[in-house]
C-alpha cells in the first residue's frame, strides 16, 4: 500500500502539454498551410485573367498559345495547325512574351 501513496502529485503542469500541441499547430499553420493557400489564390487569379492569345505552360510541360476558352477547358495550339484540348486546371503558368524574346 505504501507504493500507491508515494505517487507524486503534479500541479500546474497539466496544461503544458496542451499548450505545446497548440503551439505546434500554430507554427504549422503559418509555415505550411498559409503559404500554400496564398500560392493557390495566386494561381487561381492568374487563370481567371487568361485570354485568347496568351502563351501558357500546362502541367505536362507543353508550351502553347490559347486559341479558345470554354467553361471547362482551353484549346491550346502547340504548333501550327496542332491544337490540344486541356482542362483549365492543367494550365500551370503564363509565359511572358519578353521572356520568349530574350531566350532566343
pLDDT at 80 over 50: yes
Quickly count: other Cβ atoms within 10 Å of residue 65's Cβ: 15
Task: Using DSSP, state whether 62 is helix, strand or coil.
Answer: coil
Percent of the chain at pLDDT > 70 equals: 80
Kindly report, residue by residue over 44-72, the tens digit of the pLDDT.
888 888 889 899 999 889 999 999 999 88
Tell me whether strands 63-69 and 55-58 are parallel, antiparallel or unpaired.
Answer: antiparallel
pLDDT at 17 over 70: yes
Please, how many CA atoms are within 13 Å of residue 66, restricted to the half-sphere of its CB?
Answer: 25
- Residue whose C-alpha cell reads 482542362 in the numeric block: 87
Q: What per-residue confidence (pLDDT) applies to 102?
A: 42
Q: What per-residue confidence (pLDDT) applies to 10?
A: 56
Amino acid at each position: 500500500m505504501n507504493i500507491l501513496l508515494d505517487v507524486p502529485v503534479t500541479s500546474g503542469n497539466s496544461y503544458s502539454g496542451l499548450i505545446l500541441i497548440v503551439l505546434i499547430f500554430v507554427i504549422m499553420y503559418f509555415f505550411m498551410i498559409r503559404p500554400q493557400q496564398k500560392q493557390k489564390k495566386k494561381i487561381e487569379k492568374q487563370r481567371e485573367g487568361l485570354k485568347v492569345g496568351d502563351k501558357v505552360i500546362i502541367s505536362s510541360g507543353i508550351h502553347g498559345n490559347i486559341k479558345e476558352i470554354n467553361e471547362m477547358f482551353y484549346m491550346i495550339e502547340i504548333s501550327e495547325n496542332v491544337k490540344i484540348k486541356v482542362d483549365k486546371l492543367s494550365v500551370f503558368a503564363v509565359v511572358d512574351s519578353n521572356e520568349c524574346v530574350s531566350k532566343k
